[in-house]
């Protein structure tokens, strides 16, 4: 009797704790189910002028809303919710035949975990039967879902940078169904090598996070440096949960001229701080993965003077007026801040990657005729992205997607910046 009472008490206490915890706003994995009223297929013959509501299209979305790469996944999720809200307001997209199609955006959290990414992707494909998928904040989760997309024949746009997402690294064959929007470590590596060369250094060290993204950073940095005759004399990985950084001792011992860090915050911030403590005079060069406010807030003073390539999002107002991306970038920034209620510190290039990918798919959906089944829609969306995204200004650059290149960006997509007084300053080669 007494025991039962106690158990009950325990349960109540635990519940109270849970409720208390739930009071704070928290990113959830729950799918947001926005617009569609009932997707009623209209009677065909008797439909003269008034707008006709056609099939509801389903757009699957997943990002790392929680876990180590949530600094990427949260702005991406916000962007997806923003686009869902804009589509709801507009009622959907209008096809070439004048039929309006509401678009349902289904959002999941992959918890920064490739296995969970594969699970939610399967759910989107099999249970939700979506027409296209945009997702994957990190290269790890994205690479994990590529085989699923290829097998199920779903158009997939990744928001992560690894080239292996769109091209088989062994056969160099482009994956038919996979696209991506972010600039790449390949572009980053090119900038880093150009900077190191410009400064007249000939030996660098590289510390990278022990995951798909970090390994790709190392590979691309090494390739770009080697091409310019610069030696990567020491490289080692780290874990985001590390508390000591024995790597720095090796960096000092190796006598390299600069340290390249291939990681995203907060891991990149931890290494930057450790490098500044252990080797205060060693220049630090980062990758474009650190272009968000988390880096500066987490590394503080240690971020000062670090340099890295960075998408134009963060300093869009400083771009010349004839820049083809400027107008779009300013519009995205404004919309995003209005939607989330955050200040400019909430902006990141990652949200932009989601924006580009989602807009590709939405534009492709707008090209579909009424009456296609889901398989035909999937094929048509894929074909549209591959052939019609040309000279297409996005937040990440001016895209020219081709059957061989499912990204379609060149060097100009990235700029080069330096951290000064806690903010990014445009740092073009003339000023090096």
- Nearest approach in angstroms of CB 75 to another protein is 13
- Nearest approach in angstroms of CB 308 to another protein is 19
173 vs 301, which CB is nearer to another protein?
Answer: 301
Rule CB under 8 A: which residues touch another protein? 3, 6-7, 10, 13-14, 17-18, 21-22, 24, 26-27, 66-68, 70-71, 112, 210, 234, 236-239, 241-250, 252-255, 266, 269-270, 277-278, 294, 297-298, 300-302
- Nearest approach in angstroms of CB 27 to another protein is 7
- Nearest approach in angstroms of CB 233 to another protein is 10
- Nearest approach in angstroms of CB 297 to another protein is 8
- Nearest approach in angstroms of CB 420 to another protein is 17
- Nearest approach in angstroms of CB 282 to another protein is 13
18 vs 376, which CB is nearer to another protein?
Answer: 18
292 vs 395, which CB is nearer to another protein?
Answer: 292
188 vs 294, which CB is nearer to another protein?
Answer: 294
Alpha-carbon distance of 178 to 395, in angstroms, equals 19
87 vs 303, which CB is nearer to another protein?
Answer: 303
63 vs 183, which CB is nearer to another protein?
Answer: 63
67 vs 91, which CB is nearer to another protein?
Answer: 67
């Amino acid at each position: 009797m007494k025991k039962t009472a106690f158990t009950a008490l325990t349960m109540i206490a635990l519940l109270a704790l849970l409720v208390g915890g739930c009071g704070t706003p928290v990113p959830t994995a729950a799918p947001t189910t926005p617009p569609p009223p009932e997707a009623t297929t209209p009677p065909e013959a008797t439909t003269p002028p008034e707008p006709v509501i056609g099939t509801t299209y389903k757009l699957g979305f997943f990002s790392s809303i929680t876990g180590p790469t949530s600094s990427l996944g949260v702005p991406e999720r916000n962007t997806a919710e923003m686009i869902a809200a804009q589509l709801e307001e507009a009622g959907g997209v209008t096809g070439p035949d004048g039929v309006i199609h509401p678009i349902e955006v289904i959002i999941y959290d992959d918890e920064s975990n490739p296995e969970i990414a594969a699970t939610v992707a399967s759910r989107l494909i099999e249970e939700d039967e979506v027409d296209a998928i945009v997702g994957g904040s990190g290269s790890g989760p994205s690479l994990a879902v590529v085989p699923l997309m290829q097998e199920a024949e779903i158009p997939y746009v990744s928001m992560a940078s690894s080239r292996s997402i769109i091209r088989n690294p062994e056969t160099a064959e482009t994956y038919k169904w996979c696209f991506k929007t972010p600039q790449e470590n390949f572009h980053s590596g090119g900038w880093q090598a150009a900077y190191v060369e410009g400064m007249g250094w000939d030996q660098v060290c590289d510390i990278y996070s022990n995951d798909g993204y970090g390994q790709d950073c190392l590979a691309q940095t090494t390739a770009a440096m080697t091409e310019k005759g610069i030696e990567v004399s020491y490289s080692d990985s780290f874990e985001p949960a590390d508390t000591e950084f024995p790597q720095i001792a090796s960096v000092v011992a190796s006598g390299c001229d600069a340290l390249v860090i291939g990681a995203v915050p907060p891991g990149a911030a931890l290494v930057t701080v450790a490098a500044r403590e252990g080797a205060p005079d060693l220049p630090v060069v980062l990758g474009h993965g650190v272009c968000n406010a988390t880096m500066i807030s987490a590394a503080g003073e240690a971020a000062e003077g670090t340099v890295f390539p960075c998408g134009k999002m963060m300093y869009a107002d400083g771009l010349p007026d004839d820049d083809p991306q400027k107008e779009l970038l300013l519009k995205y920034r404004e919309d995003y801040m209005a939607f989330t209620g955050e200040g400019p510190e909430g902006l990141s290039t990652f949200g932009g990657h989601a924006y580009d990918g989602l807009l590709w798919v939405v534009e492709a959906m707008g090209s579909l005729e009424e009456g296609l089944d889901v398989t035909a829609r999937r094929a048509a969306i894929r074909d549209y992205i591959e052939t019609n995204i040309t000279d297409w200004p996005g937040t990440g650059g001016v895209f020219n997607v081709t059957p061989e290149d499912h990204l379609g960006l060149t060097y100009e997509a990235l700029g080069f910046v330096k951290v000064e007084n806690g903010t990014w300053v445009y740092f073009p080669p003339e000023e090096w």
